[in-house]
Each structure stands twice: as structure tokens, then as C-alpha cells.
């Protein structure tokens, strides 16, 4: 029985031939190698701090030079008035004469309808008159026709009967075209000179030298020439003592332009 079992086992297995080499042993896996941990990397440097930049701002524009500002003012005023010359009578004053009249020799008639004469104007006094006069009440009421005839104080030669005793200035202030007035007896100091009688604009405080019509205080005095002096009229006194206006020269270096100015 036992022999039969041994025989059965041996029959189920292939016979080994003699001289056949034995099978090589199964390879033994190599032990896993331990890997060293990676070297620590240096910490990254923080980025440089960004300095805040000041906001870009444009420099303020430079104000126009006085000469350019003066030129622009003249062009703006004259251009605007000439543009509406056909529609209002004031425009004619900037083109050589008042509406309905011409710049001619005229005897001065004061606002009380009396003709000005050296005998009816005392030193340090003034009288309003119209030039050029048309005898049309509507036209003659235009402010751009208003002038003041001033007889200087005695301290400035007003006692003389000569034409040098008198001044005639447009009443239109060269600042914003208000009407100034003459204040007799007012004593002021201009360039270290004592002056009697003063021209004062009530709107913004411009004051003018009675001797030459140039502004010496107030906004008109801050304007550049010729925008800092009143337009004037040339005068003459005849043998009878009557005072006349002769045709003015409206260039800036002569009698100037009403409301714009004159070189002094």
C-alpha cells in the first residue's frame, strides 16, 4: 500500500534526468536603500520694498506776461465792441466818433447848459459835459460821451487863466467802466507829492491823479499801461475865455481810447 502511494507520487512528477543542472535559486531582492533627505534650501529673500511714488501733477500754468495780458485785454474789449458796432452807438466811440456826430472842435457846454468859461469855473472845481455833443437827448445821455472839465487847485496853477489850468478826462473808469467823480479839496500824496483834488471811482476804489489822469491806487492802478490812465481831450481857451475841445487823437500815446486807456 505504501509502495503504491509512493509510486503514484512519483508518476505525477516529471523525472529528473541525471546530469541536468539544478535550477538557479530565485534572486533575493536587494534591501531598499535609504535616501538622504534633501538639503534645506535657503529661504528666498523678500522683494525690495517698493517706495510709493508721488502722484504726477502738472505744474500750474504760468500767468501771461503783463504785456501779453494787456494785449489780450485790448483785443478782447475792442474786438467785442467792434463786433456789435452796428447795433449799439457805443461802438462808434472806438472807430473815431460818437454815433450821429463827428470828432470836431466844440465849445464846452456844462450840464447846467452854461458854456464853460474861465470866469465861471473857480479853481479846484469840476463840471460834467458831453463830447461830442449832438443836441439829441438820447445820444447825449450815453455814458461814453461824458467827461469832466476840471480846473486845478491854485497849488497846481489853477489860478491862471491859461489852458494849462484845465484838464478834461473821460468819466469811464478803465477798470470796469463805472463812472468816477471829482472830489474837490481832497488832499492826497502821490509819489511824495501833495495833490489837492482827487478822481475817485465808487465801484472798486480806483483813484486817479488829477494832474495826469493816471490811476495810483485801486484795481485800475494794477493794470499795465495803457490800461491804467483815463482818456483825455485836448483843450483851448479863446480870447473871450471860452473853453473848447479840439479834435482828439485817439492813439494811446496821445488822448487814448475811452474805457481802455492812455499812455502816461
Note whether residue 163 is domain-resident. Answer: yes
Note whether residue 68 is domain-resident. Answer: no
The reported pLDDT for the residue numbered 251 is 97
Range of the domain at 146: 101-245
The pLDDT > 90 percentage for the chain reads: 61
Q: 230-244: per-residue pLDDT in tens?
A: 999 999 999 999 999
The reported pLDDT for the residue numbered 86 is 44
Say how far apart CA 84 and CA 86 lie, in whole Å: 6
The reported pLDDT for the residue numbered 85 is 42
Confidence of residue 102 (pLDDT cuts 50, 70, 90): confident
Domain count, the chain: 1
Task: Give residues with Cβ within 8 angstroms of 174, minimum separation 6.
Answer: 206, 215, 220, 223, 227, 228, 229, 230, 259, 260, 261
Note whether residue 60 is domain-resident. Answer: no
The reported pLDDT for the residue numbered 17 is 47
Q: Are residues 179 and 173 in contact, defined by beta-carbon separation less than 8 angstroms?
A: yes
Note whether residue 34 is domain-resident. Answer: no
> What is the pLDDT of the chain when averaged over all its residues?
81
Q: How many CA atoms within 13 Å lie on the side-chain side of 70?
A: 17
Note whether residue 138 is domain-resident. Answer: yes
pLDDT at 203 over 70: yes
Q: What is the mean pLDDT of residues 154-181?
A: 98
The reported pLDDT for the residue numbered 41 is 66
pLDDT at 156 over 70: yes
Amino acid at each position: 500500500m505504501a509502495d503504491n502511494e509512493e509510486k503514484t507520487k512519483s508518476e505525477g512528477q516529471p523525472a529528473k534526468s541525471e546530469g541536468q543542472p539544478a535550477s538557479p535559486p530565485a534572486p533575493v531582492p536587494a534591501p531598499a536603500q535609504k535616501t538622504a533627505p534633501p538639503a534645506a534650501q535657503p529661504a528666498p529673500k523678500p522683494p525690495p520694498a517698493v517706495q510709493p511714488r508721488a502722484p504726477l501733477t502738472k505744474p500750474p500754468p504760468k500767468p501771461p506776461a503783463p504785456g501779453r495780458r494787456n494785449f489780450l485785454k485790448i483785443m478782447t474789449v475792442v474786438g467785442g465792441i467792434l463786433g456789435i458796432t452796428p447795433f449799439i452807438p457805443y461802438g462808434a466811440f472806438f472807430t473815431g466818433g460818437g454815433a450821429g456826430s463827428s470828432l470836431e472842435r466844440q465849445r464846452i457846454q456844462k450840464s447846467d447848459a452854461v458854456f464853460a468859461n474861465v470866469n465861471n469855473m473857480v479853481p479846484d472845481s469840476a463840471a460834467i459835459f458831453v463830447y461830442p455833443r449832438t443836441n439829441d437827448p438820447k445820444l447825449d445821455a450815453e455814458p461814453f460821451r461824458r467827461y469832466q472839465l476840471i480846473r486845478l487847485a491854485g497849488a497846481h496853477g489853477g489860478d491862471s487863466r491859461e489852458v494849462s489850468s484845465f484838464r478834461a478826462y473821460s468819466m469811464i473808469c478803465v477798470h470796469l467802466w463805472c463812472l468816477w467823480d471829482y472830489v474837490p479839496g481832497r488832499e492826497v500824496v502821490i509819489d511824495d507829492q501833495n495833490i489837492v483834488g482827487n478822481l475817485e471811482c465808487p465801484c472798486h476804489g480806483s483813484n486817479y491823479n488829477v494832474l495826469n489822469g493816471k490811476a495810483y491806487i485801486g484795481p485800475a492802478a494794477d493794470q499795465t499801461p495803457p490800461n491804467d490812465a483815463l482818456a483825455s481831450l485836448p483843450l483851448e481857451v479863446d480870447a473871450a475865455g471860452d473853453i473848447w475841445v479840439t479834435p482828439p487823437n485817439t492813439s494811446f500815446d496821445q488822448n487814448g481810447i475811452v474805457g481802455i486807456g492812455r499812455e502816461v
